[in-house]
Amino acid sequence: MTMRRAARMLCCLLVHSASAAPVSMVASGVLSAMIMPDRIAWHVRRWHADGAARVRSQRRILDVSRSCATANAAATSTKHLGKLILVRHGESTWNMDNKFTGWADVPLTDAGRAGAHRTAQVLRSEFKETVDVLYTSVLERAVETAQIIIASLESHGHQPIELRQRWRLNERHYGALTGLSKRESGCDDFELFQYRMTLAGRPPAMQPDHPYFTRREAKYVSGELLFVDPEPLALADVPLTES
């Protein structure tokens, strides 16, 4: 569960390896950098509600570290592990309005597109490695960010980069809160913390009368995901909320 949540939080993945290693191998490797539109963040902040939460979080981190260490040992025994570069998508229209987005498919703002271009500039100037594969979710804001970065790198002489879209990299589903601002949600600070910052918090599920009901989204109803993602997602399995 912890590893799956961690994967879903990644909006764009640029994967570099000596021979385009499988994502299962690369994802278990060393985190080299997290690139934001305006800065490179070399640390990860952790929030804890109380002492008990801190202990549980530390245990989860330890378990994940042990799993990664085991996977790393197996991977490095056969081939070079490569590097993983994490990129956050540019500002979306709902980011600008401070709304819960989740699986809702909203576009980038002009500022978000500009941020994606700046990210590409950072990649060109500060990371000299060749990018082999770029993984992203199937959400428009992440896909457009990825396309801007690929176009920028390739226009400056970079080798062609393969784009792979995976629904498992979609953002956490915020259920009935989708489309609402933090104030409109009616949630207190503790509930917002649980829903946004913990592995256990689960927002109320969206119902069929929700204006952004995910199971009415064309990409999930029509089956068109199969053209970009080899892993099927049955309509009945499309989440209506997530922890």
**What's the CA gap between 14 and 76, in Å, rounded?**
20
For 39-101, list the strands marked E by DSSP: 40-41, 83-87
Q: Which two tokens stand for residue 203?
A: 């927002």
3-class SS of residue 92: strand
Point out the catalytic residue in the list 89, 91, 144, 242: 89
Distances (CA, A) of 20 to 50, 135, 226: 42, 12, 22
Q: Residue 89 gets which letter from DSSP?
A: P
Point out the catalytic residue in the list 91, 144, 171, 242: 171
Is 48 catalytic? The answer is no
**What's the CA gap between 41 and 135, in Å, rounded?**
20
Is 210 catalytic? The answer is no
Q: Which two tokens stand for residue 93?
A: 């229209």
**What's the CA gap between 115 and 89, in Å, rounded?**
9
Q: Which residues are catalytic?
A: 89, 171
